[in-house]
Amino acid sequence: MSRRSSEQWARPAGMPGEVAVDVLVPTCNRPAELAVTLAGLAGQTDPAFAVVISDQSTGDPGWEHPAAAAMVRVLEAQGRPVTMLRHLPRRGLAEHRQFLLEQSTADQCLFLDDDVWLEPGAWPG
């Protein structure tokens, strides 16, 4: 299992493991939906993944919303790296996805829109 369980959260994480998948999440003005998407990711056990959030909101970024911020903390406590980026000005979804793709360093990536909830175990373990 690639994620740290809650009983391990208070212990030092040690060296981060190899990330198999970068999960790329474009978002814009949808902080509650972003929180739900991140909650679905927190329910996954394998493979090892990192999360890259790119926000094009007109106001505060979605990850500053209390629910989304809490889920970012949970993912980080589980040992999942989370990168949060602002990407402005808005130039359309295709350009936003290209920006996210350029941030990916893993061999595989998964685009996950900010309104998708992954059921626990959605990835084969």
In order of start, what are the domains of the chain with their CATH numbers?
Answer: 18-111 (3.90.550.10)
| Residue in 110, 52, 104, 107 with CA at minimum distance from that of residue 81 | 52
Q: Look at 92 and 53; give whichever has higher pLDDT.
A: 53
Which tokens is 37 given? Answer: 């998407």
Mean pLDDT in the chain? 87
Q: How far is CA 93 from the centre of its chain?
A: 18
HSE (CB half, 13 Å, CA atoms) of 68?
22
Which tokens is 31 given? Answer: 């902080």
Provide mean pLDDT across the span 40-48: 92
Q: How far is CA 68 from the centre of its chain?
A: 10
Which tokens is 85 given? Answer: 């980026």
Look up residue 69 and give its amino acid. A
Reported as a pLDDT band with limits 50, 70 and 90, residue 46 is confident
Reported as a pLDDT band with limits 50, 70 and 90, residue 15 is very low
Is pLDDT of 8 > 50?
Answer: yes
Query: What pTM value is reported for the model?
Result: 0.85
